Amino acid sequence: ILWDLDTGQPIKTLKGHTDPVMDVSVTPDAKRAVSGSWDNTCILWDLDTGQPSKTLKGHTGSVHAVSVTPDAKHAISGSKDETCILWDLDAGQPCKTLKGHTSEVFAVSVTPDGKRAVSGSWDGTCILWDLDTGQPSKTFKGHTSLVAAVSVTPDGKRAISGSRDNTCILWDLDTVQPSKTLKGHTSDVWAVSVTPDAKRAISGSWDNTCILWDLDTGQPSKTLK
Q: In what order do the strands lie in the sheet with 116-121?
A: 105-110, 116-121, 125-130, 135-141
Give percent above pLDDT 90 in the chain.
Answer: 97
pLDDT at position 225 over 90: no
The number of C-alpha atoms within 13 Å of 124 and in the hemisphere containing its C-beta is 7
Cβ neighbours of residue 90 closer than 8 Å, sequence gap 6 or more: 73
Question: How many helices and strands, by DSSP H and E, does the chain display?
Answer: 0, 22
Is the Cβ–Cβ distance between 14 and 24 less than 8 Å? no
pLDDT tens string 120-176: 999 999 999 999 999 999 999 999 999 999 999 999 999 999 999 999 999 999 988
The DSSP letter of residue 220 is: E
